[in-house]
Amino acid sequence: MEQIHLIQELATEQVQKLHLILESNVYGKQFLQYADLIAYQIKSYDYDSVPWKDLVVGFIVTIYLWETYLDLRQHSLLKRNIIPQALAGVITKEKFAQSNAYNIDKSRFKIMYQGIYNIAQIIVAIQYDLFPICWDYADQFLKLASLPHSEILQSIVFASILISLNTVVNLPIQLYSNFVIEERHGFNKQTYGLFFSDTIKTFFLTLIIGMPVLAGFLAVIQWAGENFFFYIWLFMVAFQIFFMIIFPTFIQPLFNKYTPLEDGELKTKIDALASKLKFPLTKVYVVDGSKRSSHSNAYFYGFFNNKRIVLFDTLLQQSTHNEVIAVLAHELGHWYHNHVFRRLLVAQAHLFVLFYFFNFIVNLQSLYTSFGFSTRPIIVGFLLFQFIYSPVETLIGFFMNVLSRRDEFQADAFAKKLGHANDLKSGLIKLQIENLSNMNPDPLYSVWHHSHPPLVQRLAAL
């Protein structure tokens, strides 16, 4: 407790210092005046007159229409079945047609069913006041179970109800994607048994990890009072670090088997690459990704001097050793250029802004009233806030994609500098062909959705 008090004092001190610095400067003074003016405008605004519910439904529909427009653009391009010039000699007509058929199938399902199903769900939930109904059920559950009445307990039951509903409602979509679409194109390797055991494991893990975090989240806000955003941000940063530690060590092994890569030519080459770059590699694992799907991948994880590399068994089956090394050289390019760390920092800054605005909106009774609540439970506030925040979130997602695509080019250039350009080219083409990824993306669709640049652009840059 004393330490928290200390942080609180430090934070106040820093804010005061910043204020003094700004006051001593002409522009700083002007900035403060504008900030005060905006704060005054915001405070004096009549929020009761804001039609919150209509606004949120409007946001949801706008984002849906925009993304469906992009889907339709992409769909019609796929149907034209044009091989991009850069791939003309590289991929056979049959393979290209096969990849297009897969992507057309996925895109048709998304436009005709998945998209409509998702937006219908959320609009029905909002229009029929499903959230206040679930909140009342949570209250009744506490009474039936003779549990003491507290906002935290009721929130836990409420969240559990929503998670259960969500899991059940999304089952048909997931089943159809895996067992019809993926199956039809030869990707699905999992049985119904594995699918349901995955779903049940994920459900219980979400509850076991999520509920203590939720309780902590609410407790911090209740404790911190008016300006909670700083403390809740610290709490979430701490939780994320904790989760990054337990995820690869305790959670992923519940779903897949990670076996150390056997000594041999590939292992020697990987070790040589790591020591050449001074990459602190401690272990190389092979994961049995083929248990679920024949899509393939490679990545690294770990803090500071304890990095591990994970290779999908599917990648090893599909590529030559030199191609695997080239793909790893690309991955290590992300490490060399600090992409992972920088992304983490951006995410934390984003989280800070998110909580700052949440702090602002959490006590607006008109928001709760418009969604059918007579009280102001914090968890409901956070849920409604996320609806309001969704346009900002969408734009941030877009900018993150822009940054990520830049990082991909930089990582490719890193591999090229190490002399792996040709192997990376053939490796990327193979991955793309084996995964039947979309090789001819619509430019607008790609700019909006893709975290990786289109293959043709990457090949051109290499």
What residues make contact with Zn ion under the rule CB under 5 A?
A: 408, 411
Q: Which of 331, 407, 434, 442 is catalytic?
A: 331
CB nearer to Zn ion: pick between 378 and 411: 411
301: helix, strand or coil: strand
Q: Is 321 annotated as a binding residue?
A: no
Q: Which residue, 182 or 412, has its beta carbon nearer to Zn ion?
A: 412
Buried b vs exposed e over 280-314: b needs ≥16 C-beta within 10 Å?
ebeebbbbebbebbbbbebebbbeeeebbbbbbbb
Minimum Å distance from CB 17 to Zn ion?
41
Q: Is 331 a catalytic residue?
A: yes
Which one, 333 or 377, has the nearer CB to Zn ion? 333
Residue 129 designated active-site? no
- How far apart are CB 91 and Zn ion at their closest, in Å? 21
* End-to-end CA separation in angstroms for the chain: 55
Nearer to Zn ion, 96 or 414 (CB): 414
C-beta of 330: minimal distance to Zn ion in Å?
6
The number of angstroms, rounded, from the C-alpha of 289 to the middle of its chain's C-alpha atoms is 20
Find tokens 């048909």 and name the residue.
172
Q: Give counts: helices (H), strands (E), the chain.
A: 19, 4
Considering only the C-alpha atoms of the chain, give the largest distance between any 2 of them, rounded to a whole number of Å.
Answer: 71
Q: What tokens were used for 350?
A: 């984003």
Q: Which is nearer to Zn ion, 236 or 411 (CB)?
A: 411
How distant is the alpha carbon of residue 388 from its chain centre? 19
If the CB atoms of residues 182 and 408 are measured against Zn ion, the closer one turns out to be: 408
Which is the catalytic residue, given 412, 423, 434, 442?
412
* CB-based contact 18:84 (threshold 8 Å): no
- Is 159 or 327 the residue whose CB approaches Zn ion more closely? 327
Shortest spacing between CB 408 and Zn ion, in angstroms = 5
Four-residue CA torsion sign, 161, 167, 170, 172: negative
Q: In what order do the strands lie in the sheet with 281-287?
A: 258-260, 281-287, 307-312, 298-301
Q: How far is the CB of 410 from Zn ion (least distance, A)?
A: 9
Q: How far is the CB of 334 from Zn ion (least distance, A)?
A: 6
Q: Measured from the CB of residue 331, what is the shortest distance to Zn ion in angstroms?
A: 6
> Of the candidates 312, 336, 340, 338, which has an alpha carbon nearest to the alpha carbon of residue 427?
312
Rounded distance, CA 106 to CA 113, Å? 10
Task: Quote the CA–CA distance of 430 and 423 in Å, as a whole number.
Answer: 10
Tell me the backbone φ, ψ of residue 307, rounded to 5 degrees. Answer: -95, 145
408 has binding-site annotation: yes
Joined tokens for residue 288: 């049995």
Among 93, 72, 90, 73, smallest CA distance to 82 is for 93
The catalytic site residues sit at: 331, 412
Residues at the binding site for Zn(2+) are 330, 334, 408
Which residues are part of a known binding site? 330, 334, 408
